[in-house]
């Protein structure tokens, strides 16, 4: 990407599972860049884990919960200090209900969305000029998606374009692609006993 971009780029390789070094590296990156206006947290993993293998569950929690929270904290502290900024997290439609085959993934995305809502309430109540956006994709054709019979799978290009537009419009929550709002609505109203039978 750096070689393709016409503007100056700054690169830092970060393993978000190591939260202490993530915070240090991100602080350094922000300093090198002379501040940032927007922070998009996209790093995430998901495992099909029907056997509830702890290593896989832990990796998901370390990345999607601890890593996410560490990065969000660095961004928020910087934006509060600077008096402006935009924090974007990529959670998922999966955040709405629990999963039998990937329980840690869905739970981690519920954490992300809930955390972002908490931050949006914080900025509203403290009148901070900071925007909080929660991007909630359905299925996007990337390495993260496992299994067959995937429906409404968007191309990464289409998903990226809709995500970009939602960020520009400073949306609080957006579904990618847009029609996933229907699934989100259904998932929210479906009673537990019916959801368990699906």
Ligand X SMILES: NC(=O)c1ccc[n+]([C@@H]2O[C@H](COP(=O)([O-])OP(=O)(O)OC[C@H]3O[C@@H](n4cnc5c(N)ncnc54)[C@H](OP(=O)(O)O)[C@@H]3O)[C@@H](O)[C@H]2O)c1
Task: Give the binding site for ligand X (CB under 6 A).
Answer: 14-17, 42-46, 63, 90, 92, 137, 139-140, 142-145
Q: Of 9 and 42, which CB lies nearer to ligand X in the complex structure?
A: 42
In the complex, the smallest distance separating the C-beta of residue 137 from ligand X, rounded to whole angstroms, is 4
Q: Could you please report the per-residue DSSP string of 163-196?
A: HHHHHHTT-SEEEESTTHHHHHHHHHHS-HHHHT
Active site residues: 105
Sign of the CA dihedral 157, 176, 89, 196? negative
Residue 190 Cβ vs ligand X, minimum distance, rounded to whole Å: 19
Residue number with the smallest Cβ distance to ligand X: 44
Measured from the CB atom, the residue of 42 and 165 that comes closer to ligand X is 42
Dist. CA 60–CA 45, nearest whole Å: 6
Strand 139-140 versus strand 130-137 pairing type: unpaired
Q: Which residues pair with 38 in a beta bridge?
A: 86
Q: Which is nearer to ligand X, 79 or 175 (CB)?
A: 175
Q: Residue 68 CB, nearest distance to ligand X (Å)?
A: 8
């Amino acid at each position: 990407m750096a070689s393709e971009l016409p503007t100056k780029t700054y690169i830092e390789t970060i393993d978000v599972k190591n939260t202490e070094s993530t915070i240090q590296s991100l602080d350094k990156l922000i300093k090198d860049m002379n501040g940032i206006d927007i922070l998009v947290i996209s790093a995430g993993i998901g495992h099909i884990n029907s056997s509830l293998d702890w290593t896989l569950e832990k990796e998901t929690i370390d990345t999607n919960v601890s890593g996410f929270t560490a990065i969000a904290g660095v961004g928020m502290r910087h934006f509060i200090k600077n008096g402006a900024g935009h924090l974007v997290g990529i959670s998922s439609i999966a955040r709405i209900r629990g999963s039998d085959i990937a329980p840690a993934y869905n739970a981690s995305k519920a954490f992300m969305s809930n955390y972002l809502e908490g931050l949006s309430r914080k900025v509203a109540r403290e009148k901070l000029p900071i925007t909080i956006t929660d991007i909630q994709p359905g299925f996007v054709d990337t390495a993260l998606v496992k299994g067959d019979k995937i429906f409404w799978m968007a191309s990464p290009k289409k998903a990226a374009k809709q995500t970009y537009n939602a960020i520009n419009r400073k949306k609080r929550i957006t579904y990618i692609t847009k029609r996933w709002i229907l699934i989100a609505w259904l998932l929210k109203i479906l009673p537990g006993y019916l959801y368990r039978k699906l």
